[in-house]
Amino acid sequence: MKDRLDSLVLFLLSLFLRLVLWVFSSVVFPLFYAVPFIEKFNIAGASNYPNKLVEEVVNAADVTDICHAHGYEVQEHVVKTQDNYLLTIHRILNPEFRSSTIDKEKVVYFHHGLLTNSELFLLGETTGKCLPFLLADRGYDVWLGNNRGNKYSRKHINLSSKDVKFWDFSLDEYAIFDIPDTLKYILDTTLAGQLTYIGFSQGSSQALAAFSINPQLRHRVRLFVGLSPPLIPRSLSHPVARFLVRSSAELLYCIFGRRAILPFVVICQKLLGPINYMRVVDRSLIYLFNWKSKRINETQKQVGYTHMFSPSSVKSVVHWFQIINNKRFQMYQEEISRLYASLPSLHGKLHRCAPFPVQVIEKMPMMLMYGTDDILIDMDLTQQKLKGNMGDVTLHPLAGYEHMDPLWADDVVDQVFTPIIERIEELHAFTNSTGKSSPDSKSLSEAATVFPETNATSMYMSCMGKNLDVPTSKLSL
């Protein structure tokens, strides 16, 4: 009886939300046709930029423009997934390094979070606050990935992005197709034996999901770095967010449809202009997640928020709500019956959704960096799930950091980027000296004997001076 009453309440609330969305589509949406007029006459308000770089990045149309503003070149590559989606990925090129002089084993891959794209890692207010550029300056071959459906990957061999079927994907497809196919393409292109994977938020979670179901893929990752990794996010406390999280999948599809979620956000950004849009995003984050963002200055917000949103499927958001509700890192739970969907207790008796078995991941060096004030991260639960690999995991709690701070905090270079670079170079130095890809504690002790310097950069330079070339075995993905 209680389940039926809850369903009735959720249904009535959904009607209210549908009414709001109808008013928006019938009254507000037609105003979007005035966007060209607004942009032409700058009615949205002129923005004051502190310097030319900020202005160029804020007004950049894509990754190419952002990289050019910072003085870097970029290549666009297209990955065809096994289920026929076409994903555009980006390769950062430092004009000071020729491809022939780059160590083929120094490959680093970045993957973005939910509702974002590859631009996310290039949105520092200065070049020195963009980790991909810092690594490119050190001779690393840097790649940036994209999920299906976002700004750079709205293409399929057979389907149009207007088709509902095109948007029928979630974390399952990211883990089964997007991550493995992208990493395989990069490793085949660079001829590298392994790479370093750096993921932010969902970019970390979907990597762990991919590693958990693909043993061969795990052997191709030298180091995994998870920035704000929400394996099983905490339950949201805001009433609106809590209502959505607890709603059934069918109800959420009734409210938001079955294609892209919140597609009008980009148009709202154009209407409001960079400054007003930044303020709206800032207040929205406070309202929904209580993120004060005190460690991110106004200029950084202006740069970051402008490019932060990119479309994804409604189904991918519904999938996260299922994970939060079930407190279980699992695959998407299909509704086996409309009748049982309204009776969760019976549904659970008939169907147990398959997990992403992250507990099977072993001997993979990891760095997990998370804010102590990040309400989405439950690190105790994450450690329980990764207990089989905890001997190879380094935890980096960041005092006072919230979810976005590991990307853009004022002290992010010292607190986040420097430890990552040192760890990457330490592993590369160790690999060049021993031929092993993942050292244990005894091996690290032996490496300290080979390299008397305690500084990881000195270790790296010692190896590069010897120009060692260690063969690596080819493992098919």
Active-site residue numbers?
201, 374, 403
Kindly state the tokens that stand for 299: 């200029």
Cβ proximity of 89 and 182 under 8 Å: yes
Output the DSSP codes for 256-320: H-SSBSSTTHHHHHHHHHHHHHHHHHHHHHHHHH----TTS-HHHHHHHHHHH----BHHHHHHH
Six token digits for residue 49: 């930029």
Measure the CA–CA gap between 306 and 146, rounded to whole angstroms: 18
The 8-class DSSP code of residue 100 comes to: G
Helix (H) or strand (E) holding 253: helix 249-256
**Taking a C-beta distance cutoff of 8 angstroms, is the pair 408, 304 a contact?**
yes
Question: Is residue 443 within 8 Å of 237, Cβ to Cβ?
Answer: no
- Residue type for position 123: L
- For residue 378, give the nearest of 232, 235, 238 by alpha carbon: 232
As given in the structure block, the two tokens for residue 111 are: 């993957």
Residue 288 CA to residue 237 CA, distance in Å, equals: 8
Whose CA is closest to 400, among 411, 389, 387? 411
- Amino acid code (one letter) for 373: D
The Cα 4–Cα 14 span in angstroms is 15
For residue 197, give both structure tokens.
């994977």
Quote the DSSP letter at residue 344.
H
CA–CA separation, 433 and 435 (whole Å): 6
In the block, which residue shows the tokens 């294609």? 259
Looking at 170-218, list the stretches that DSSP marks H as alpha helix, in order from N- to C-terminal side. 171-173, 179-190, 202-213, 215-218
Residue 468 and residue 168: Cα distance in Å, rounded?
47
With tokens 């980790």, the residue in question is: 131
